[in-house]
Structure 1
Amino acid sequence: MILLFKIGFLDVSIVNLIDIALVSVLIYQVYKLMRGSVAIKIFLGFLSIYLMYLVVNAAKMELLTIILGQFMGVGVLAAIILFQQEIRKFLLIVGKSSIFSNENVLQELFFWRKRESSAFNVTPIIEACKSLSGSSTGALIVLSSNSELKFYAESGDLIDAIVSKRLLISIFNKYSPLHDGGVIIYNGRVKAARCILPVTERDVPAQFGLRHRAAIGMSEATDSLVLVVSEETGQVSLAKSGKILHNLSFQEVREMINAYLTGESIEERFVEVVAFEKVKEKKKITEL
């Protein structure tokens, strides 16, 4: 172990600095996951109880130490139960950066297969959104670039058809039995319709309805790009990684979808949902 310097009786080495840096990054990622949600308040409550336990233990208050000690003993299990959504999102982030995140990774590793692009012609989706927006018909479309999202697809009606403008308009017609829920599109095919999507637990502005909450929730739970057409205003929004862009033009929607399908990183273009409450502009929004 290489010693760098000493602070009093403490020996500081390169390993210690790396350890502190990694812990700092971990804490920051945990903060990003819980920011804007109720979980941050629960986390602060756990932290307060833990600090109180350290104080009463140092002060030799035996009765309080025993009571809080019993609580801290089951703290890990309680944290897993209370923060299951945040833990899931953290594992999703780790999985996205893993070499095993692709379903065909074994074939790529052992047979040196070139990874095929998941991009396809998005014109039918854009044209369908134009028609749906013009008639104020609500729509919820999930685009996935690396997974069929079988768990969510099986919650609805399986279709497995080529994407077309007429098909999407027919699905979201208010008189269609398939219009409720979301449509999942993967590799240029409509995998399923009437799918049940997770709803975000974050506080969102009142202007966003259940479709927008489901879009944000689906983008939090998966690595998908979710498109929403508002039934009230006809405006088009995109959600990714728990963030959203609102009131986009169809050219912007096309560019964002193509960038996502070709593997480009587009998260930095999105903003946190809580930012909408403090911004008056309808279109160009910057993160607070």
Structure 2
Amino acid sequence: MSFIDFGILDAIDILLVAFLLYQLYRLIRGTVAINIFIGVAAIYLIWKLVEALQMELLSEILGKFIGVGVIALVIVFQQEIRKFLLLLGSTNFTHRRRFLRQLKILRDDNEPNIAISEIAEACRHMADSKTGALIVLERKSGLGSYVDTGTRINSQTSAQLLESIFNKHSPLHDGAVIISGEKLLAAGCILPVTEKTSLPSRFGLRHRAAIGIAEKTDALAIVVSEESGSISIAIGDEFINKVTAAELPKHVLDYLRD
């Protein structure tokens, strides 16, 4: 295709592809899947280069890698692909609008603020009583697959509700609570545990699960230690220990506003 033959349909084609790639990036940004996607894209570009240079052996090897990379992407994104197809085929217009908002195609000016004051109050009480807790705050990465492992609650977040869930006599106290905006989505959720071997021995399962979810998504995890009553935060590769209840809102809001 030459520049002389370049028409309006070609421009629309390029814009649509750029738009879809941008939305895909927004969807997976902050998750471990982005590294796999970038790796496959890099191998694809190198493959095209060696193919143009007629390096047949290397081109054949990289071509095999591309095939495996596509399968890996399908496995990594199986939940997102399933959700995309279900919502795309849904006749419910409300579901479609919600899906478009998740892709940032539509802007929702009424997105709720995080219930940080209630969370901070609950953490302060649980720290004083040395009640173990694990609270995960959803950001841009969807946590639907982790929500499905617990008991759905879909209630307004309150300090009293959080304290009752993590009470040692509650059947849900061992798992994590997942919060999105002001909604407490589920309790008793199972999270991935970090594979790091360099963590201090004092870190229990809650701390390792908090670090694990922070590694795999862009979520923020808050841990209240049952042993010491200290509050910790896991964000990406960063783990902030001994955060006071007064400092907690600032740490959370600073991160969620990025």
Rounded Cα–Cα distance in structure 2 between residues aligned with 1:164 and 1:154: 21
Instruction: State how far apart, in whole Å, the 2-side matches of 1:157 and 1:220 are.
Output: 23
Match of 2:191 in 1: 197
Please report how far the alpha carbon of residue 144 of structure 1 lies from its aligned counterpart in structure 2 after TM superposition.
1.0
Asked if 1:103 corresponds to 2:93, the answer is no
Give the number of the structure whose alpha-carbon radius of gyration is greater. Answer: 1
Q: State the TM-score, normalized to the length of structure 1.
A: 0.54
2:237 maps to which residue? 242
In the TM superposition, what is the alpha-carbon distance from 1:114 to its structure 2 partner? 5.5
Counterpart amino acid of residue 256 in structure 1: H
Are 1:162 and 1:189, in contact at CA under 8 Å, matched by a contact in 2?
yes
* d(CA) in 2 for partners of 1:76, 1:104: 29
Residue type matched to 1:166 in 2?
Q
Q: CA deviation at 1:76?
A: 5.1
- Tell me the equivalent position of 1:175: 169
* SS of residue matched to 2:186: strand
Query: What TM-score do the two structures reach when normalised by structure 2?
Result: 0.59
1:120 aligns with 2:114: yes
CA distance in 2 between counterparts of 1:192 and 1:183 reads 6
Q: Answer whether contact 2:114 2:180 (CA < 8 A) is retained.
A: no
Q: Any idea what SS the aligned residue of 2:247 has?
A: helix
SS in 1 for 2:102: coil
Q: Match of 1:158, as an amino acid?
A: R
Alpha-carbon deviation of 1:121? Answer: 3.6
- The correspondence for 2:132, drawn from 138, 144, 148, is 138
Instruction: Provide the aligned C-alpha RMSD in A.
Output: 3.0
Q: Which residue of 1 aligns with 2:7?
A: none
* Counterpart mapping for 1:134-173 below 5 A: 134-147=128-141, 149-173=143-167
Q: What is the rounded CA distance, in whole Å, between the counterparts of 1:105 and 1:149 in structure 2?
A: 17
Contact 1:147 1:186 in 2 (8 A): no
Which residue number corresponds to residue 252 of structure 1?
247
Picking from 200, 214, 230, the partner of 2:225 is 230
Instruction: Please tell me the residue identity of whatever aligns with 2:169.
Output: Y
Shift of 1:124: 1.1
Q: For the structure 1 residues 199 and 101, does the alpha-carbon distance in structure 2 shift closer, same or farther, using more than 3 Å as the test?
A: farther
Runs of 4+ in 1 over 3 A off after TM superposition: 113-118
Residue 211 (1) aligns with residue 206 (2):
yes
Note the residue ranges of structure 1 that are not aligned, 5 or more in a row: 1-32, 34-71, 89-99, 265-288
* Percent of paired sites with the same residue: 42
- In structure 2, the CA distance between the partners of 1:200 and 1:118, relative to structure 1 (3 Å rule), is farther
CA distance in 1, matches of 2:110, 2:209: 30
Deviation at 1:181, TM superposition (A): 1.0
Number of equivalences: 173
- Aligned residue in 2 for 1:10: none
Unaligned runs of 5+ in 2: 1-31, 33-60, 78-98
